[in-house]
Homo-oligomer: A and B are copies of this chain.
């Protein structure tokens, strides 16, 4: 038994976020207005986002200084630790070295506050008083409620109805931090009422909840909308993870060959990977792997096309890997990875060959998670389990090839609020979520031709 933890001194914390758009070999693909199909302008976005964040969405400035007010809240839990996984290495008998960056130390238990805090800060700074958002499993909704509370912003969360009913703990976290939370579809918005008119018993979906949150923000001058992944500025804020990790790996006197993160919308993967991509663009030889569930195989099975971010087609059109905005993934435990699309930036990096993607069944993923929990001692979130599994797979592959690799993965959150998933796995009730081809085909049919 040996713990090796690398922790930065607070004074050595990175003071900038890294903007990958400054260094991408090809410029980012334009985001299109859903009506005109022409590139959106800052004015198009201003009804739902503050100008500070719109600027971050499009800027080509390489480093964006983190405001002092954001650093102050970050330092409640940051710098976050980076560990050498000695016990895991021993448990799987690998000759490779495995490290992980741990983001579960935040008050919400995941990486989500890294962007919730600056989003709340900039909205407050630009004069807004209310935020709306959607949430599936509740991690994003609780993180935004935490952040909004700090800056005196009222946060209203549209929570997918089935999660609202099945995940009362996350709902309670939202309310304890002062947020308001409603089961979506609601009768409070046109989008919600339209769904309820067709199906009064709708269990809701992330797409519907987004439509409700966007609609309310667009109609109210004091209210903006906030998104927990996908957008450029969200990924930007998460790069604090990778900027810290680079310094910590230097403390360890080591450099990773392989960098791994789970991938839903893309923010926790990008948070760790983009700062390493900067060095890859400059000639370093890193493999970067985004890991997703086979039940929602956006990067590995999706098409690289313009598509909507929501079911109703209210959002701008984004060039991304997509399973079609109508795609309805099975109800796996990693709720944070059940998104039909992917961030345009990680999509483009994949398309251009700078990163790789892998997908796994939840059963094998939880098997690796159990090995991790019983060796390293930390109980990981179901989403993070995908990154753990890929690290195990890559270590074993290296062993088979007689090589030793240095692997770094992002442990994006703890699993204390998700223990039902472990109960399901331990009792042998966790089904692999084999995906009928027809479901994929149905989803693809919804991708608009533009």
- Let me know if A450 is at the binding interface, CB within 8 A: no
Contact B76 A3 (CB under 8 A): yes
Most chain B CB within 10 A, of A76, A109, A423, is at A76
User: Mask for A1-21, Cβ within 8 A of B = 1, else 0?
Assistant: 111010100100000000000
The interface residues of chain B lying within 8 Å CB-to-CB of A370 are 176
- Let me know if A105 is at the binding interface, CB within 8 A: yes
The interface residues of chain B lying within 8 Å CB-to-CB of A150 are 1, 377
Contact A374 B178 (CB under 8 A): yes
User: Do A426 and B377 contact each other (CB < 8 Å), given the known contacts A1-B69, A1-B150, A3-B75?
Assistant: no
The interface residues of chain B lying within 8 Å CB-to-CB of A30 are none
Per a CB cutoff under 8 Å, which of B69, B176, B377 touches A379? B176
- Let me know if A151 is at the binding interface, CB within 8 A: yes
Q: Which residue of B lies closest to A421 (CB)?
A: B172
User: Do A379 and B73 contact each other (CB < 8 Å), given the known contacts A1-B151, A5-B10, A168-B420?
Assistant: no
Contact A176 B75 (CB under 8 A): no
A-side interface mostly: helix
User: Mask for A142-164, Cβ within 8 A of B = 1, else 0?
Assistant: 00001001110000000000000
- Let me know if A373 is at the binding interface, CB within 8 A: yes
User: Do A419 and B1 contact each other (CB < 8 Å), given the known contacts A10-B7, A105-B105, A149-B374?
Assistant: no
User: Mask for A401-439, Cβ within 8 A of B = 1, else 0?
Assistant: 000000000000010110110110010000000000000
The interface residues of chain B lying within 8 Å CB-to-CB of A169 are 416-417, 419-420
The interface residues of chain B lying within 8 Å CB-to-CB of A146 are 377
Which residues 53-76 in A have Cβ within 8 Å of B in the complex?
A: 69, 72-73, 75-76
- Let me know if A128 is at the binding interface, CB within 8 A: no
- Let me know if A177 is at the binding interface, CB within 8 A: yes
Per a CB cutoff under 8 Å, which of B10, B73, B377 touches A1? B73
Q: Quote the shortest CB–CB distance from A40 to chain B (angstroms).
A: 33
Contact B175 A422 (CB under 8 A): yes
Q: How far is the CA of A73 from the CA of B378 in the complex (A)?
A: 12
- Let me know if A107 is at the binding interface, CB within 8 A: yes
- Let me know if A398 is at the binding interface, CB within 8 A: no
- Let me know if A173 is at the binding interface, CB within 8 A: yes
Which residues 359-402 in A have Cβ within 8 Å of B in the complex?
A: 370, 373-374, 377-379
Contact A422 B76 (CB under 8 A): no
Q: Which residue of B lies closest to A425 (CB)?
A: B176
Per a CB cutoff under 8 Å, which of B170, B175, B373, B414 touches A177? B373
The interface residues of chain B lying within 8 Å CB-to-CB of A377 are 73, 76, 107, 146, 149-150, 177
A–B pairs, 9, beta carbons within 8 Å: A76-B378, A107-B377, A109-B416, A168-B423, A169-B419, A172-B422, A175-B426, A177-B379, A416-B416
User: Do A76 and B417 contact each other (CB < 8 Å), given the known contacts A374-B177, A423-B172?
Assistant: no
Contact A176 B1 (CB under 8 A): no
15 additional contacts, CB 8 Å, given A7-B7, A7-B10, A176-B374?
A: A1-B73, A1-B151, A3-B75, A76-B83, A107-B377, A150-B377, A172-B423, A172-B426, A173-B379, A175-B422, A176-B373, A176-B426, A178-B374, A416-B416, A416-B417
The interface residues of chain B lying within 8 Å CB-to-CB of A83 are 76
Q: Quote the shortest CB–CB distance from A382 to chain B (angstroms).
A: 12
User: Do A378 and B2 contact each other (CB < 8 Å), given the known contacts A419-B168, A422-B175, A423-B168?
Assistant: no
Contact B107 A379 (CB under 8 A): yes
Per a CB cutoff under 8 Å, which of B5, B175, B177, B419 touches A76? B5
Q: How far is the CA of A423 from the CA of B170 in the complex (A)?
A: 10
